[in-house]
Amino acid sequence: MPKLQVLYRVFAGFERSFAAQAAAFQRQHPDVDFNIVPIDPEKLYEDLIAKRGILGSDWDVVLLLTDWLPELLKMGGLARLNDFIQRDPPPDYPQGWSDSLLELQRDAAGGIFALPYHDGPEMFMYRADLFENPAEQTAFAARYGYPLAVPETWSQFRDMARFFTRPEQGLYGAMIAGLNDGHNNVYDFFLHLWSRGGQLFDAAWKPTFNDAIGREALQFYADLILTDKVCPPKTLDYDSVASGVAYAAGEAAMMWNWCGFSAVAELPPSKIIGQNRLGLVPRGDHGAHATLNIYWVLGIPAGSAQKELAYQFLRHCATSEMDKITAQSGGTGVRRSTWRDAEIQAQFPYYRVLEAAHANAKSPPRLPEYPAINEVFNQMQHAVVTGAKSVEEALDDAARAVESIMAAAGYYT
């Protein structure tokens, strides 16, 4: 009996969706068995990419972050899917998906190396039971001189975070995923930088993120945790998943995070079912709203000995029925049919704004060197929030490290 070896990042929503999708696949292919293994995202990267395990035959299907794809494609780590897709495409491919969810897994020659599975982007979330409470509205307006509403700017966000921070009630104003795992802590810096009009690089690939805008962005982030103390005490232990669960448990009034955690807020054991609302991530006082286009894809390792069967499972997961299961399980579906599904929209209202959010999303640089650069930002963030370095020192050190990576890779002449 053939057995598909599937590796994915640990998340309860993925555990539920893969279990249901594998069971449905087995009903159609009763001779196929599965070994579905969860792993922390850092170890997923380490085992598959840093240690080049993706070139071996241990795994047949892997769940991957789009940030990792340039490095994976450079090393030849993924099977090219074009022939499979041409012979037996997923239903409605490619028009069934937003272009933004099909571009990051392609190479310059038009090769396709993965299919989308779980969507971002990052969005702002807040609790309606707090923001729409007349007593809270009156108290906020009296203290700050303007109405309590969805914050348009980061300055307003800080006011509201301070207002709702009530440690004696187990409530904090803001939920941040501060764990130094190279994931949300890095993307949060990008959001704060971009939403203030800053950039990571100039046209010659020289780092520019340590300028005045970068200092303002990183200082604001650090102050929320260290100075304003508007985040839960375990903030530096929370990754994106733990912070989404903590928000759903009622620990904070506001959060910016991957929009899929809105689904977590609407599923048991959430304490705020029916109370979560979404909006755009705040902007700088002189900036523009920004969000991140980063998503998870299913690919086939180059070393897999069961590529045909693995593709059939990828295609299976890409159908409208299975994508809806991803959504119902607590992940975020990637097909337009799921986004527009009336049942999904009724249970998870954020699907009503997914198409609009994708219209103005940005991605990290598509460079094979990006994982090394990402780790520089990871260490930069951690040094600041733990007090090991000042904002200016951490930014300047990071800029030198990134410039060294880019120089070694031949970007400068």
Q: Output the DSSP codes for 46-91.
A: IIIIIT-GGGSSS-SEEEEEGGGHHHHHHTT-B---HHHHHHSPPT
> Which tops the pLDDT comparison, 357 or 168?
168
Question: Using CA atoms in the order 220, 355, 22, 38, what is the torsion angle rounded to 10 degrees?
Answer: -10
* Res 121: pLDDT: 84
* Res 259: pLDDT: 86
Q: Is 2 helix (H, G, I), strand (E, B) or coil?
A: coil
Q: Are strands 252-258 and 172-175 parallel, antiparallel or unpaired?
A: parallel
> pTM (2 decimals)?
0.82
* Residue type, position 146, single letter: Y
Q: Above 90 in pLDDT, residue 1?
A: no
CA distance 352 to 364: 25
What pLDDT band is residue 413 in, cutting at 50, 70 and 90? confident
- Residues paired with 166 in a beta bridge: 171
Q: Above 80 in pLDDT, residue 369?
A: yes
Q: What percent of the chain has pLDDT over 70?
A: 100
Q: At 117, give phi and psi (nearest 5°).
A: -130, -45
What pLDDT band is residue 153 in, cutting at 50, 70 and 90? very high
What pLDDT band is residue 400 in, cutting at 50, 70 and 90? very high
Q: Which of 351, 352, 384, 402 is nearest to 180 (CA)?
A: 384
Instruction: Read off the pLDDT of residues 209-237 as tens digits, 9 standing for 90 and up.
Output: 999 999 999 999 999 999 999 999 999 99
* Mean pLDDT of the chain, nearest integer: 95
* Res 354: pLDDT: 85
What is the pLDDT averaged over residues 357-375? Answer: 88
Q: Above 90 in pLDDT, residue 263?
A: no
CA distance 364 to 245: 26
Q: Are strands 122-127 and 276-279 parallel, antiparallel or unpaired?
A: antiparallel
CA distance 171 to 45: 34
